[in-house]
Amino acid sequence: MSRAQLARAALRVALGAAFLSAVASRLGLWGSHAGHLGDAFAAFVSYVAELNPWLPAAVWPVLAVLVTAVEGSLGLALVLGVARRPAAIAAGALLAVFALAMSLFTGPKSALDYSVWTAAAGAFVLALETDAVVVERTAGRERPTAGAATSTSPAPSTTRPVVKVASEGA
């Protein structure tokens, strides 16, 4: 496994674990409400209300359940490496919406302090993995990069960047 593949796997598992951790907290499996599912989920519904004040109060619990299901599904998909690109895109979109809501309704500090914008950016970078562009400097001959398609073209005659498109599958 190359260093780039290892870094992508670490990012994917870290994002997935973060989603699963949030779901576990909501379900009372750990955190300040550990062992108290009702209290933990009620606290999350209150937070959903804080981030979505324009929605009718009757929608907040439904949205809380929906978001929990989506985050659990994305967390599992990311950790297991299932449908990596669609899961990464969905995770990035969900995190970006969450960061925007946090910034608008609680101020930008919390979204920045909890690195939500960073996590969203990481998810979008992870979504690029199937179309990764590998740029390397070569000296006199082309060297294949792990995961990159090899070329049958002649080696470059001078030192210059060679751009290859790597395809690792979704």
What percent of the chain has pLDDT above 90? 65
pLDDT of 127? 94
Contact 21, 29 (CB under 8 A): no
User: Residue 121's domain spans which residues?
Assistant: 3-130
Q: Are residues 102 and 82 in the same domain?
A: yes
Sign of CA dihedral 20, 114, 63, 38: positive
pTM of the model: 0.74
Say yes or no to pLDDT of 4 above 70.
yes
Say yes or no to pLDDT of 162 above 70.
no
Q: Are residues 113 and 144 in the same domain?
A: no
| Residue 150 maps to a domain | yes
Q: What does the alpha-carbon distance between residue 164 and residue 170 come to, in Å, rounded to a whole number?
A: 18
Q: Are residues 62 and 10 in the same domain?
A: yes
Q: Are residues 7 and 30 in the same domain?
A: yes
| Residue 170 maps to a domain | no
HEC states along 15-49? HHHHHHHHHHHHCCCCCCCCCCHHHHHHHHHHHHH
pLDDT of 133? 41
Between 78 and 161, the higher pLDDT residue: 78
pLDDT of 1? 81
Query: 54-100: per-residue pLDDT in tens?
Result: 999 999 999 999 999 999 999 999 999 999 999 999 999 999 999 99
Pick from 30, 59, 24, 28: which is nearest to 45 by CA? Answer: 59
- Grade residue 129 by pLDDT with cuts at 50, 70 and 90: confident
Q: Are residues 117 and 141 in the same domain?
A: no
Q: Is 133 helix (H, G, I), strand (E, B) or coil?
A: strand
Residue for token pair 């994917």 = 12
Q: Are residues 51 and 107 in the same domain?
A: yes
pLDDT of 151? 46
Say yes or no to pLDDT of 36 above 90.
no
Domain count, the chain: 2
pLDDT of 150? 47
Q: What does the alpha-carbon distance between residue 16 and residue 8 come to, in Å, rounded to a whole number?
A: 12
Question: Cα-Cα-Cα-Cα dihedral of 120, 126, 131, 134, to 10°?
Answer: 110
Between 71 and 162, the higher pLDDT residue: 71
